């Protein structure tokens, strides 16, 4: 009887540890071995085949113009900017003052990202559409790298690496945002490398074949995306990802280039986290209930990591349960042996919770001081996961007050001219391309223009 008890305990420990950490071990090899898509000598698509669509709330004029500048320098055929009616004139004037080429500024009465995106899609005449958020910054030759994924005729959409802009003296929230995106990029690259799956093709910057999006079927699908009968304005990238996969297309990640973005570096970051977490649950549960592709043999690894893996939360309870199972398995060993086993497991947990941010620590060793906070926040985020699961009906972004952003930033010349002048002055005092975006495979080297504080 004792033998069988010990057998089942040991088997349970092995099974639990495998389910929890097999994905971590495999992801290390996938991350290190995955190669970027090469740029063809005679590429099928160039920047002339690209239209960029930027739906914007026009929240931060300077950041918006920096975004436009970086996109414009990559020479797409056209840029459509869609904002609230009351701010169309201002955005047009700022684009003209900054010599942004081939740009059209469209207006909507009510800010709704999905409506803004579709308004511009209807006017696209190129074969590739790239959606970009208004707080992203592209490197030089970005489109040349990104378009390489479409040399595969079965690829319908794709994106690139992403990184949060590091402040000169990062605070806790800036670092947590950096860590969040590093982990998301790691997860997306590794699942995509193994079987082509991805949880979400991030809407920060994503390219699509126009034929997939410019049709009545997609428009209806996109505008009638609901959660428990409630229309969704958020989760647009989840909806797009689901639509591409459900129509038999592949999604690819180009790792030879990287965009940079900004996140809240204050308590607003918590609101962002809750929005992402709710969107994660809603998107994955929608796929699991309404779609069949996720459980096919083709995407078996993604099913394990993305959809079944989300159930391993909160991490504090999961890791506590594993410690308890380990205790049961080692009950017959000496106290010293048990102690070293628990220490080894603790070190392993610490390693796994820091693994995906190692590239950042190589670039910025000074940020290793945030490691304890990062580990602690990983357990706090598990609580967020549970809370988000029970508040999925909340479909607004806490950090966005759309009613206020719909109001004109300047209605009279006395308001408009100073705003234009101040924005231009602030732009002229900053580097032309903010941050330190990367092109090429040198992802971990520290940027030469950003010395450690």
Q: Does pLDDT of 328 surpass 90?
A: no
Strands 155-164, 103-108: pairing is: unpaired
Q: In this prediction, what percent of the chain has a pLDDT beyond 70?
A: 92
In a domain, 318, yes or no: no
The number of domains in the chain is 1
Q: C-alpha 53: how far from its chain's center?
A: 18
84 lies in a domain?
A: yes
H or E element at residue 114? helix 113-121
pLDDT band at 453 (very low <50, low <70, confident <90, very high): very low
Q: Do 158 and 201 contact (CB within 8 A), yes or no?
A: yes
pLDDT band at residue 279, thresholds of 50, 70 and 90? very high
- Packing angle of the helix pair 315-329, 335-354 (nearest 10 deg): 150
On the question of pLDDT at 435 being above 80, the answer is: no
Which single residue is written with the structure tokens 């690829």? Answer: 155
What percent of the chain stands above pLDDT 90?
A: 74
Q: What CATH number corresponds to the domain at position 64?
A: 3.90.550.10
Peptide bond into 314 cis (omega under 30): yes
Residue range 180-195: average pLDDT? 96
User: What confidence tier does 445 reach under pLDDT thresholds 50, 70, 90?
Assistant: low
Q: Tell me: the pLDDT tens digits for 214-264?
A: 999 999 999 999 998 888 888 999 999 999 999 999 999 999 999 999 999
Q: Which residues contact 153 (CB under 8 A, 6 or more apart)?
A: none
For residue 198, give the 3-state DSSP assignment: coil
- Does 78 reside within a domain? yes
Beta bridge partners of 255: none
Residue written as token pair 């459980």: 295
18-22, 43-47, 110-114, 228-232, range with the lowest pLDDT: 228-232
Assess contact for 76 and 52: CB atoms under 8 A.
yes
Asked if residue 230 belongs to a domain, the reply is yes
- Grouping H, G, I as helix, E, B as strand and the rest as coil, residue 106 is strand
On the question of pLDDT at 87 being above 90, the answer is yes
Residue 104 domain-assigned?
Answer: yes
- Tokens at 27, concatenated: 């992801």
pLDDT on residue 413: 83
User: What's the pLDDT score for residue 436?
Assistant: 64
Pair 101, 68: CB distance under 8 Å: no
Residue 26 falls inside a structural domain: no
In whole angstroms, give the CA distance from residue 248 to residue 155: 9
User: How many other CB atoms are there within 10 angstroms of residue 135's CB atom?
Assistant: 18
Parent domain of 128: 38-271
Q: What is the pLDDT of residues 5-36, one digit of tens each?
A: 565 566 667 888 888 999 999 999 999 999 99
Q: Which spans in 291-431 are helix H?
A: 300-302, 315-329, 335-354, 358-363, 371-389, 402-405, 413-428
Write phi, then psi, for 227 (nearest 5 degrees).
Answer: -125, 115
Please give the structure tokens belonging to residue 427. 């732009």
Contact 385, 207 (CB under 8 A): no
Cβ contacts of 172 within 8 Å, gap of 6 or more: 370, 373
User: For position 230, what pLDDT does the model report?
Assistant: 86
- The answer to whether residue 325 sits within a structural domain is no
Please check whether residue 427 lies inside any domain of the structure.
no
């Amino acid at each position: 009887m004792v033998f069988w008890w010990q057998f089942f305990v040991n088997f349970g420990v092995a099974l639990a540890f495998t389910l929890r950490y097999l994905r971590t071990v495999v992801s290390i090899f996938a991350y290190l071995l995955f190669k970027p898509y090469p740029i063809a000598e005679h590429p099928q698509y160039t920047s002339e085949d690209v239209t960029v669509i930027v739906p914007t709330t026009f929240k931060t004029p300077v950041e918006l113009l920096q975004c436009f500048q970086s996109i414009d320098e990559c020479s797409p055929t056209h840029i459509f900017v869609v904002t609230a009616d009351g701010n169309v004139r201002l955005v047009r004037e700022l684009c003209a003052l900054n010599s942004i080429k081939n740009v059209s500024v469209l207006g909507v009465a009510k800010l709704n990202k999905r409506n803004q995106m579709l308004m511009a899609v209807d006017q696209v005449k190129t074969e590739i559409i790239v959606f970009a958020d208004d707080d992203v910054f592209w490197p030089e030759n970005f489109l040349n790298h990104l378009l390489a994924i479409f040399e595969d005729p079965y690829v319908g959409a794709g994106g690139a690496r992403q990184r949060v802009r590091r402040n000169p003296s990062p605070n806790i929230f800036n670092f947590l945002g950096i860590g969040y995106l590093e982990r998301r990029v790691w997860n997306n690259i590794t699942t995509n490398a193994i079987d082509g799956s991805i949880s979400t093709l991030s809407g920060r910057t994503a390219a699509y074949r126009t034929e997939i999006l410019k049709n009545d079927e997609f428009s209806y699908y996109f505008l009638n995306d609901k959660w428990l009968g409630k229309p969704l304005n958020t989760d647009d990238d989840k909806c797009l990802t689901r639509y591409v996969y459900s129509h038999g297309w592949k999604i690819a990640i180009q790792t030879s280039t990287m965009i940079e973005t900004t996140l809240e570096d204050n308590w607003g970051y918590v609101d962002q986290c809750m929005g992402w977490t709710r969107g994660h649950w809603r998107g994955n549960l929608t796929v699991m209930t309404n779609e069949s592709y996720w459980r096919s043999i083709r995407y078996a690894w993604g099913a394990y990591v993305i959809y079944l893996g989300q159930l391993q939360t909160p991490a504090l309870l999961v890791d506590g349960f594993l410690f308890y199972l380990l205790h049961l398995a080692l009950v017959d060993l000496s106290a010293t042996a048990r102690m070293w086993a628990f220490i080894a497991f603790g070190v392993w947990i610490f390693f796994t919770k820091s693994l995906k941010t190692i590239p950042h620590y190589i670039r910025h060793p000074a940020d290793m001081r945030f490691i304890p906070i990062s580990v602690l926040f990983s357990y706090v985020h598990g609580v967020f996961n549970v809370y988000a699961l029970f508040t999925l009906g909340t479909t607004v972004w806490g950090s966005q007050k759309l009613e206020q952003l719909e109001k004109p930033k300047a209605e009279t010349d006395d308001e408009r001219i100073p705003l234009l002048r101040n924005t231009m002055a602030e732009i002229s005092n900053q580097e032309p391309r903010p941050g330190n975006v990367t092109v090429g495979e040198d992802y971990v080297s520290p940027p030469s223009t950003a010395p450690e504080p």
